[in-house]
Amino acid sequence: MPAATSFEKIETEKLSDRITREMLNGEDATLARIFLARGAIVPRHSHRSEQFSLILSGALKFKFDDSEVVLRAGEILLIPANVPHRAEALEDTVDIDFFAPRREDWISKDDAYLRGNAGKD
């Protein structure tokens, strides 16, 4: 049965001093709203999920092994599965990420690359 909610009703996880996340999981996909303070770093990583990133506000620079792209409000990026990438918040940023299949590592809190000192240079 369909279920309605809002991000405001979802637990906010503090992943680091500069990154927080609100996450919803379905059977096959994960949707998250991520807040990144200016200067936040998401260290290089990869995952088996395809990722769509939509910037609601701010600017996020994604770096890949062979290129980089800056996304600003209203822009969307598709990152294929298993492609290593990192990100840097150029401004205070609100990002919506959609993953399929769902992020089991996030659900099990096995995402150390995002926690603790992650988010700082």
Flag whether 34 is in a domain.
yes
Flag whether 98 is in a domain.
yes
95-120: per-residue pLDDT in tens?
999 999 999 999 999 999 888 755 55
Flag whether 21 is in a domain.
yes
Examine the pLDDT at 3 and tell me if it is beyond 90. no
Please name the amino acid found at residue 18. R
CATH of the domain at 88: 2.60.120.10
pLDDT of 117: 56
Its domain, for residue 33, covers: 11-114
Flag whether 43 is in a domain.
yes
Residues 57, 103: Cα–Cα separation, whole Å: 23
Residue (of 9, 12, 3) closest to 94 by Cα position: 12
Alpha carbon 46 to its chain centroid, in Å, reads 12
Flag whether 85 is in a domain.
yes
Q: What is the mean pLDDT of residues 23-51?
A: 97
pLDDT of 2: 84
Flag whether 35 is in a domain.
yes
48-99: per-residue pLDDT in tens?
999 999 999 999 999 999 999 999 999 999 999 999 999 999 999 999 999 9
Flag whether 79 is in a domain.
yes
Q: What is the pTM of this model?
A: 0.92
Domain count, the chain: 1
**DSSP result, the chain:** ------GGGSPPEE-BSSEEEEEEE-SS-EEEEEEE-TT-EEEEE--SSEEEEEEEESEEEEEESS-EEEEETT-EEEE-TT--EEEEESSSEEEEEEEES--HHHHTT--GGGSBTTT--
